[in-house]
Amino acid sequence: MVDYNLNLCAKYPFTSEAKAFVSVNKPQISPPLIELGQKRILSALLKGEIPKQAVVLDAKELVYSYAVARMIISQFSRFHINRYAIAEAKRASSLLESSLRESSGLQDSLLVLGGLGIHAKIVSEKPDFIADVPVFEYLRFAPRSVDYKLINQNVSGGFVRSLTWHKVCRIAEEAIKIQIQNSLPLKIPKTDYPQEILKAAKEIDKLLPREESVVITKIPSENFPPCIVKLLQDMHMHENLPHTARWFLATYLLKAGVKPEEIAAIFKDAPDYNEETTRYQIDYLVKKTYSVPNCDSIDSYGLCVAECGTKNPLQFKAAYHGKKVERDRRERDANQKRDQEQGEIQ
Amino acid sequence: MTDLERTVEFVRRKFADFYTAQSEVGPSSIGQREFGFGSWERKIETRHAAFPTKADLRKYLVMNAPFFISHSIAYYEFPTGRPMPRKNWLGGDLVFDLDADECPNHAKGWICDTCFGKTKSEAIKLIEEFLMPDFGFSSNEISVNFSGNRGFHVRVESEKVKQLDREARRDLVDYIGGTGLSIENFFRAKEKSWMENDRVKRQLQNMGPKPTDPGWGGRIARFAIDPANIAHLPKEVQKKKFPLFTQGVKEGNWDKVRIANKETVWGDLGKKVGVHMGDQIDQNVTIDTSKLIRMADSLHGDSGWVAKTFPLSQLQSFDPRKDALAFSSSETVTLNIVEAPKFLSREEEFGPFKAEKRELPLHAAMYLLCKKAALLSD
């Protein structure tokens, strides 16, 4: 009989060991288990986090609740699946980050990272844990933000050197998120799901807020450059935009005169939306008054989608208005001339 | 038949002869590649083609003798599928396209020692200063071929890079091109103000990058202490104080010479090093995995030269004007040359020509015909 590390499976239920455990020790779908699965999803969708539960006491329940949650969330849209995956990834990355305090923590963590395709090497343990990560594993999973940009890391011999444990866990978070997102929805025909699962999904659906996505009709989209239009469309489609894209979008909209509360409403469509964090971040941007980056930088962030002929996204608006003002003036002049001519004839 | 039609037919026949003489052509994993072919007028006229084996491809080339042959950087499950998502992307190689800049020594489209030498230096820099030391690729994983016209293609075929998405490839290109460098990342204790108090200043003094450091920190330090780059350094260190500044940087101390606005100054230095790299690389080829690239060892319709693959060790000495020739010297052809600058072919100098009839060896004649600088004479 195989000895499973239940503690590890409970913390990281997406690992192959946890999957093997569940496939051998199939759970009985019972009302308490459904309730745990529902809690996991509801908390993920409403608060953006997975409820904390004592791993040592409830190891089996935790593994099973994840398996049940996956069946339930498979009944929902991609937006909800992505939001759920983000919450699961955040939970696991926070456990990874604190795991080094435990005796077998490092060994378990490296096992989990390896399963995700991240073969980190610990190069020092004191005063802090420092690790080297193979550069192409880093590139695949590093968050797309300035702090993680490859050029600003120490790269040599095929490794990104001297990463803090926090950074390693943040990279793992992206890998976990991608793994969960890609594995859902489960490839099971709807008719094959137990009735209890379908019922549980309906119950959750009733508890989700029925907010209409904000359609930005107040701000005519033709005033925005193509890169901003694309980001707004992606946001509206519940795409999980990288940090740089969100920062650029919010900075641009602020400079374009959109009110902070309107920007916050736009970000409600983000799959990892958290009202408090969004408000804090927008307030921070208002205080910082960042300049809108030039098109060269936008291109390097991978956010440029068309050659619109401007050097800064804000100029696109100015150019548009410039042309519009000119067109309006020409029309006005032509109307006046016509009126005068008509007046003369009369 | 017009002179142009006769010329095109002649070149096509010669291209067909070339492919007939080849025993094997085509990239690795040929069945998973999309192919594109070009005509006399356009480099890619048709695409979304596929061949199960190299023998099938060779048969097609012998029959049709296209003037340009390209294949996908990517591997697809269904390479003929359309639109693109139907191909089902399985992964992609990492390819760098380095092309010569326009050169003041001659008209657009031709090459000389100066512009081609510069491209060669950039290819060597890419391989020896980035791909091998930083990314850890071995020489077995890197291959290089002449692009067939004015540059080089450097390819990495490795499981390590196959799954990199567009974003990751852009990050990689930015790394190589020096885009987005925040030099303060290489000064430890960057979170503390440099002017906060004397203690903090002392702490920072020994915390900048050293020339021996890995990655961009070391690269910037090496650039800063190289006397050849002195013109790029701030005025404060350009004259007498350069030795003192150099000595400091070697120890990681960038404050031996007082420099006003040093954060901006060193940040700009990064940009200078980076732009130099970035100018030479057609970044989209690396980033966009749906791009097609000239097939190695095929003929280039704008030069009649072979997009020759050669060992890395021969990069320094490679000269397409003798190493990429596909056609013989024994056969001669008479041309009506419109205009051509002086050029080398098989170590022989030809031209300059203007509105004249000339009999040339086939290798030189094919070059002028493909450059659209001449037509077959009656």
pLDDT at B206: 47
Average pLDDT over residues A94-101: 89
Contact A134/B at CB under 8 A = yes
Residues on chain B touching A140 (C-beta within 8 angstroms): 163-165, 168
Are the beta carbons of B136 and A159 separated by less than 8 Å?
yes
Are the beta carbons of A144 and B171 separated by less than 8 Å?
yes
At a CB cut-off of 8 Å and minimum separation 6, what does B295 contact?
B25, B26, B27, B35, B69, B70, B71, B307
Q: Which residue has the higher pLDDT, A315 or A94?
A: A94
Query: Is A17's pLDDT higher than 70?
Result: yes
Q: Which of A155-169, B250-264, B309-323 has the lowest mean pLDDT?
A: B250-264
Q: Which of A240-244, B153-157, B281-285 has the lowest mean pLDDT?
A: B281-285
* B293 and B268 in a common domain: no
For A6-207, CATH number? 1.20.930
Task: Decide: residue B311, CB within 10 A, 0-12 exposed, 13-18 middle, 19+ buried.
Answer: exposed
Nearest CA to CA, how far is B268 from chain A (Å)?
15
Q: Which residue has the higher pLDDT, A24 or B181?
A: A24
Could you say which of A136, A156, A300 has the minimum Cβ distance to residue B174? A300
The model's confidence at residue A213, banded by pLDDT at 50, 70 and 90, is very low
* B206 and B156 in a common domain: no
Distance (Å, whole) CA B119 – CA B127: 12
Average pLDDT over residues B235-255: 87
Q: Which of A144-148, A197-201, B76-80 has the lowest mean pLDDT?
A: A144-148
- Which region, left, alpha or beta, applies to residue B375 given φ > 0 means left and ψ of -120 to 50 means alpha? beta
pLDDT at A163: 95
Q: How many domains does chain B have?
A: 3
Nearest CA to CA, how far is A215 from chain B (Å)?
28
Average pLDDT over residues A39-51: 90
pLDDT at A339: 53
Contact A217/B at CB under 8 A = no
* B192 and B133 in a common domain: no
Contact A136/B at CB under 8 A = yes
Are the beta carbons of A140 and B135 separated by less than 8 Å?
no
The model's confidence at residue A245, banded by pLDDT at 50, 70 and 90, is confident
Query: Is A335's pLDDT higher than 80?
Result: no
Q: Which of A76-85, A298-307, B195-204 has the lowest mean pLDDT?
A: B195-204
Using a pLDDT cut of 70, give the percent of chain B over it: 91
Are the beta carbons of A302 and B170 separated by less than 8 Å?
yes
Q: Which residue has the higher pLDDT, B355 or A228?
A: B355
Nearest CA to CA, how far is B137 from chain A (Å)?
7
In 3-state terms, what secondary structure has residue A153? coil
CA-CA-CA-CA torsion for A202, A203, A204, A205, nearest 10 degrees? 50
Digit-coded pLDDT (tens) for A246-287: 999 999 888 888 888 888 988 988 877 888 888 888 998 888
Is there a cis peptide before residue B352, judged by omega within 30 degrees of 0? yes
pLDDT at A143: 86
Q: Which two tokens stand for residue A248?
A: 């650029």
pLDDT at B349: 95
* B215 and B123 in a common domain: no
pLDDT at A341: 52
Task: Decide: residue A284, CB within 10 A, 0-12 exposed, 13-18 middle, 19+ buried.
Answer: exposed
At a CB cut-off of 8 Å and minimum separation 6, what does B366 contact?
B11, B14, B304, B326, B327
The model's confidence at residue B198, banded by pLDDT at 50, 70 and 90, is low
Q: Which two tokens stand for residue B40?
A: 């006399």
Give the sign of the dihedral formed by CA A207, CA A209, CA A212, CA A216.
negative
Using a pLDDT cut of 90, give the percent of chain A over it: 42
Average pLDDT over residues B234-239: 82
Query: Is A88's pLDDT higher than 80?
Result: yes
Contact A20/B at CB under 8 A = no
* B105 and B55 in a common domain: yes
Average pLDDT over residues A25-48: 91
Q: Which of A183-197, A229-243, A244-258, B159-173 has the lowest mean pLDDT?
A: A229-243
Query: Which of B273, B231, B276, B324 is CA-nearest to residue B119?
Result: B276
Residues on chain B touching A158 (C-beta within 8 angstroms): 134-137
Nearest CA to CA, how far is B118 from chain A (Å)?
24
Nearest CA to CA, how far is B149 from chain A (Å)?
28
Residues on chain B touching A162 (C-beta within 8 angstroms): none
Highest mean pLDDT of the ranges A201-215, A328-342, B96-110, B188-202: B96-110
Judge: domain A211-346, CATH 1.10.579. Answer: yes
Task: Decide: residue A92, CB within 10 A, 0-12 exposed, 13-18 middle, 19+ buried.
Answer: buried
Are the beta carbons of A156 and B137 separated by less than 8 Å?
no
How many helices and strands, by DSSP H and E, does chain A display?
A: 15, 4
Listed in order, the ranges of chain A carrying CATH 1.10.579 are: 211-346
Average pLDDT over residues B264-277: 63
Average pLDDT over residues B56-70: 97
Nearest CA in chain B to A118: B160
Are the beta carbons of A139 and B166 separated by less than 8 Å?
no
Average pLDDT over residues B311-332: 95
* B237 and B122 in a common domain: no
Residues on chain B touching A300 (C-beta within 8 angstroms): 170, 174, 179-180
Are the beta carbons of A151 and B216 separated by less than 8 Å?
yes
Expressed as residue numbers, the domain containing B256 is 183-278
pLDDT at B82: 78
In 3-state terms, what secondary structure has residue A240? coil
Listed in order, the ranges of chain A carrying CATH 1.20.930 are: 6-207
Q: What are phi and psi of B275, to 5 degrees?
A: -60, -40
The model's confidence at residue B365, banded by pLDDT at 50, 70 and 90, is very high
Query: Is A323's pLDDT higher than 70?
Result: no
Distance (Å, whole) CA A220 – CA A167: 40
Are the C-beta atoms of B301 and B68 separated by less than 8 Å? yes
Q: Give the CATH number, domain containing residue B13.
A: 3.90.920.10
Could you say which of A134, A149, A156 has the minimum Cβ distance to residue B171? A149
pLDDT at B191: 44
- Average pLDDT of chain A? 84
What's chain A's length in residues? 346
Query: Which of A66, A91, A80 is CA-nearest to residue A204?
Result: A80
Digit-coded pLDDT (tens) for B279-306: 445 777 888 888 899 999 999 999 999 9
Are the beta carbons of A139 and B172 separated by less than 8 Å?
yes
Nearest CA to CA, how far is A241 from chain B (Å)?
12
The model's confidence at residue B192, banded by pLDDT at 50, 70 and 90, is very low
Are the C-beta atoms of B195 and B201 separated by less than 8 Å? yes
Are the beta carbons of A140 and B165 separated by less than 8 Å?
yes
pTM for the model: 0.77
* B285 and B274 in a common domain: no
* B190 and B157 in a common domain: no
If contacts are CB pairs under 8 Å, which of residues 139-158 in chain A contact chain B? 139-140, 142, 144, 146, 149-158
The model's confidence at residue B127, banded by pLDDT at 50, 70 and 90, is very high
- Average pLDDT of chain B? 88
Query: Is A110's pLDDT higher than 90?
Result: yes
Nearest CA in chain A to B131: A158
At a CB cut-off of 8 Å and minimum separation 6, what does B219 contact?
B129, B273
Distance (Å, whole) CA B111 – CA B213: 37
* B264 and B214 in a common domain: yes
Average pLDDT over residues B42-49: 90
pLDDT at A299: 65
CA-CA-CA-CA torsion for A84, A85, A88, A90, nearest 10 degrees? -110
pLDDT at B195: 53
At a CB cut-off of 8 Å and minimum separation 6, what does B227 contact?
B242
Average pLDDT over residues B319-335: 95
Are the C-beta atoms of A73 and A184 separated by less than 8 Å? yes
The pairing of beta strand B74-76 with beta strand B89-92:
antiparallel
Are the beta carbons of A154 and B213 separated by less than 8 Å?
yes
Residues on chain A touching B163 (C-beta within 8 angstroms): 140
- For chain A, report the end-to-end CA distance as a whole number of angstroms: 105
Are the beta carbons of B171 and A161 separated by less than 8 Å?
no
The model's confidence at residue A345, banded by pLDDT at 50, 70 and 90, is very low
Are the beta carbons of B166 and A302 separated by less than 8 Å?
yes
Q: Which of A174-178, B80-84, B246-250 has the lowest mean pLDDT?
A: B80-84
Could you say which of B160, B181, B214 has the minimum Cβ distance to residue A155? B214
Using a pLDDT cut of 90, give the percent of chain B over it: 59
* B140 and B7 in a common domain: yes
Are the beta carbons of B164 and A140 separated by less than 8 Å?
yes
Residue type at B165 in one-letter notation: D
- Three-state SS string across chain B, please? CCHHHHHHHHHHHHHHHHHHHCCCCCCCCHHHCCEEEECCCCCCCEEEECCCCHHHHHHHHHHHCCCEEEEECEEECCCCCCCHHHHCEEEECEEEEEECCCCCCCCCCCCCHHHHHHHHHHHHHHHHHHHCCCCCCCCCCEEEEECCCCEEEEEECCHHHHCCCHHHHHHHHHHHHCCCCCHHHHCCCCCCCCCCCHHHHHHHHCCCCCCCCCHHHHHHHHHHHCHHHHHHCCHHHHCCCHHHHHHHHHCCCCCCCCCCCHHHHHHHHHHHHHHHHHCCECHHHHHCCCCEEECCCCECCCCCCECCEECHHHCCCCCHHHHCCCCCCCCEEEEEEEEECCEEECCEEECCEEEEEEEEEHHHHHHHHHCCCEEECC
The pairing of beta strand B68-72 with beta strand B46-49:
unpaired
Could you say which of A134, A150, A157 has the minimum Cβ distance to residue B172? A150
Are the C-beta atoms of B314 and B348 separated by less than 8 Å? no
